[in-house]
């Protein structure tokens, strides 16, 4: 029987309902969840993404502010803008739209965001909190992948998990989250020989690479949970373009028990996790003040 599809849109919608209930409760106490997103320079595509984000925030009762910095912003100016937001008590969350102009040091800017306000979980301090099993803001995509795994109800304790890809925002934090559930976790990377040999022993298989259809049916253990984080543009034989994941969905679905589609899996859940981090950060800030 083909795998059950994990519907990221439906699960994200439920999370957003819960978030909205929390912001309504906070508003009743006179407390505003206030996210500031920094956009340096900015293309029409980045502006469109920011306006979609603004809509997503508004829908759940989060006040969203876009701070636009001009193209020629220097590193010290960008840092000064972040520091100002760090010290502004009315700002409960901060995020930086990527990419930033080439002259700026993206990693340094992310490190300057106060970890308590870092709602994307991109400050390495937040990965550190996860390492010590005391997570603060979990990187959104990793949190999304993990929540989708948990939504299946499969027992993670003692399960064999393989995470393909080791980025700081996806692969490594997903591996840590699974390990904290007492799964036995392997991280596969570009130098891993016999990728299929590792993957096809996995009860939980997470693909976070960025290579269209890297994993096929031969990589999937019968009955596995397959989470596809990849977003890739693929040109079909007729010349049309399609967004696909790192997993060959049709082949993997024949063997897996649960599988996420691309699009409609991890993507929408990532947005929900950003909103969740934003509300959680605000609640923690309000609790510290009271
Ligand atoms: P990344 O920083 O480029 O990392 C890719 C990882 O894949 C690296 O650790 C690399 O290993 C590994 N890798 C590359 N080729 C491999 C191979 N042949 N076999 C095994 N591992 C290999 O990517 P990322 O930022 O984590 O993103 C991964 C994918 O997720 C991309 O498609 C991205 O668009 C997507 N994504 C989706 C969302 C969402 O909201 N759904 C959010 C973020 C990212 P080495 O380091 O050893 O080279």
State the closest ligand 1 atom to the C-alpha of 245, by its place in the atom list counted from 1: 32
- Rounded mean pLDDT, 192-209: 98
List the residue whose alpha carbon is closest to atom 17 of ligand 1: 190
Given a cut of 90, is residue 215 above it in pLDDT? Answer: yes
Given a cut of 90, is residue 165 above it in pLDDT? Answer: yes
Cα distance between residue 5 and residue 258, in whole Å = 6
H/E segment holding residue 57: helix 44-59
Model pLDDT, residue 288: 92
Model pLDDT, residue 46: 85
Model pLDDT, residue 44: 86
Q: 3-state SS of the chain: helix, strand, coil percent to 5?
A: 45, 20, 40
Model pLDDT, residue 290: 80
**Claim: this prediction has a pTM higher than 0.95:** yes
- Ligand 1 centroid to residue 167 C-alpha, Å: 6
**CB distance 139 to ligand 1 below 6 Å:** no
List the residue whose alpha carbon is closest to atom 1 of ligand 1: 167
- Ligand 1 centroid to residue 257 C-alpha, Å: 24
Given a cut of 90, is residue 27 above it in pLDDT? Answer: yes
**CB distance 189 to ligand 1 below 6 Å:** yes
State the closest ligand 1 atom to the C-alpha of 262, by its place in the atom list counted from 1: 41
- The answer to whether residues 262 and 250 touch, using CB atoms and an 8 Å cutoff, is no
**CB distance 209 to ligand 1 below 6 Å:** yes
State the closest ligand 1 atom to the C-alpha of 189, by its place in the atom list counted from 1: 21
In the block, tokens 């699960």 appear at 11
């Amino acid at each position: 029987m083909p795998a059950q599809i994990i519907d990221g849109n439906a699960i994200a919608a439920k999370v957003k309902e819960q978030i909205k209930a929390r912001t309504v409760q906070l508003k009743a106490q006179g407390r505003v969840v206030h996210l500031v997103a920094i956009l340096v320079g900015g293309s029409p595509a980045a502006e469109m993404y920011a306006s979609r984000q603004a809509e997503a925030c508004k829908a759940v009762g989060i006040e969203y502010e876009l701070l636009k910095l001009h193209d020629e912003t220097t590193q010290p100016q960008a840092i000064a803008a972040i520091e100002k937001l760090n010290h502004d008590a009315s700002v409960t969350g901060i995020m930086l739209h990527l990419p930033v102009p080439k002259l700026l040091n993206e990693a340094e800017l992310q490190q300057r965001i106060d970890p308590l306000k870092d709602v994307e979980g991109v400050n390495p301090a937040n990965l550190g909190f996860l390492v010590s099993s005391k997570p603060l803001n979990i990187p959104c995509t990793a949190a999304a992948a993990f929540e989708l795994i948990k939504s299946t109800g499969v027992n993670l304790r003692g399960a064999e998990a393989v995470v393909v890809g080791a980025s700081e925002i996806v692969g490594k934090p997903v591996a840590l989250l699974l390990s904290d559930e007492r799964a036995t976790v392997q991280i596969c990377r570009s130098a891993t020989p016999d990728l299929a040999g590792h993957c096809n022993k996995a009860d939980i298989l997470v693909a976070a690479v960025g290579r269209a259809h890297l994993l096929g049916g031969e990589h999937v253990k019968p009955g596995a949970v397959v989470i596809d984080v990849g977003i890739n543009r693929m040109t079909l034989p007729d010349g049309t373009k399609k967004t696909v994941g790192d997993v060959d969905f049709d082949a993997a679905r024949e063997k897996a028990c649960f599988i996420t589609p691309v699009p409609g899996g991890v993507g929408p859940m990532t947005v929900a996790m950003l909103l969740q981090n934003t509300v959680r950060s605000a609640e923690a800030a309000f609790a510290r003040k009271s």
